[in-house]
Amino acid sequence: MNRVPAGFSEGSGPAMDQPYNGRLRTLAEDFPHLFELLPGMSTQEIDAAAERLAVALPGEVRQLLVTSRGIRLRGTYVEERFDDHGLQQGYLSAGVGWPSRPWPLSTDGGRGYQLVSVLPSGAWGPVLYTHNLLEYQLLATSFDAYLDWYAATARSLDLGEILDDLGLDDLPDDTDPWQHHDVRDAVSVIFDDNLVADPVPARIWTVADAIKGPDACVSECLTDLDDSWLVADLRAGGQPLLRLHYGERDEEVPARCSDDGLVFALRMHSPEEVRQVVQRHRPTETAPGGS
C-alpha cells in the first residue's frame, strides 16, 4: 500500500516529544475521516480507576484520560478504551501472572486482550496481547509507539486500492467513500491485520542461565528465585511471543517484572516445566546481555 492515502497530506505526524494526549489529538486531527475521540474522564472517574487498579497515575496519563477515555474507528465497533471499562473485572482479576499490572485497552470478544502494562512507577509501559493468560505477545514497546502505529497504519491506507478491491469504483460523486460500510469494514480488517505481525519466540532462560549474563535489567528480577522460575525477555525485536501450556504456571505466585516491563519472571510448578518452556522457545544460544 502507499504510505499516504490518495487525496490526503501526510499531516504533522507524531512528534517524539508529544505527550500521550498530544499524540491522540494529532491522530484525530490528521485523520478525522478515520478516528473519533471518546469523551474525557472526570477527575473522580480517574481517581476511582486508579484506586481499583491500585496504581498511582503520573500526570501524563491523567492528562490523557482528561482528554479522552478512548479512540474509535469511525462507523465501527473497533475502539481502544483507556478508562478501565469493566475488562479489569472477572477474567483479568485473576491475572496474577501478568508481566505487570494490566490496564486493558480492548478485547477480541473471546479470551484475548490488548493491554498496557502499568510499570511499578505507575507509568504506562509496553502494550501486549494476551490470550487465556497463556500467551504474551509484545505489540509495542511503549504506549507512545502504540499510538504511532495507529498513525502509520492510517497513512498507509490507499483509498483507491480499497475501492478497487471492493468493486466500488462507480460510487456517486456526492458520496463520501470513507463512510461506505464496506470501506469501513475493510479498514477495520486492515487495522486488525497490521497490528499483530508474525511473532518471533521470546527469549526464555532458566534462572541459572539468566543469572550468568551481565544484564542488570534481567538480574533485578532474579533475587531469591529458585529453579522453578523462568525468565522471559521481550526485548528481542519484532513482536516476541511467550507461549505457555495449561497448568504449567503457578498462578498463585505473582510475576516479577523489570522497571521497563519487558523482562519478567514467572514461577512454574516444577523445574522440569521450566526446561520444557525454554526448549519450546529455542533457539537461544546466549544468556541475557551476552554476545
Domains of the chain: 1-196 (3.40.1580.10), 200-280 (no CATH)
CA distance 138 to 235: 9
Cα–Cα distance list, 9 to 4, 132, 143, 154, 184 (Å):
7, 41, 25, 11, 20
Paired with 117 in beta bridges are 102
pLDDT tens digit sequence for 12-63: 444 445 789 899 999 999 999 999 999 999 999 999 888 877 778 889 999 9
Nearest one of 61, 75, 69, 113 to 91, comparing CA atoms? 113
Sorted by sequence, the CB contacts under 8 Å of residue 283 that are 6+ apart come out as none
Side chain identity, residue 138: L
pLDDT tens digit sequence for 210-269: 887 767 667 767 778 999 999 988 887 888 999 999 889 887 887 887 778 888 889 999
pLDDT tens digit sequence for 75-98: 887 888 888 666 555 445 555 556
- Please tell me whether the overall predicted TM-score, pTM, comes out greater than 0.85 for this model: no
pLDDT tens digit sequence for 54-74: 778 889 999 999 999 999 988
Percent of the chain exceeding pLDDT 90 equals 34
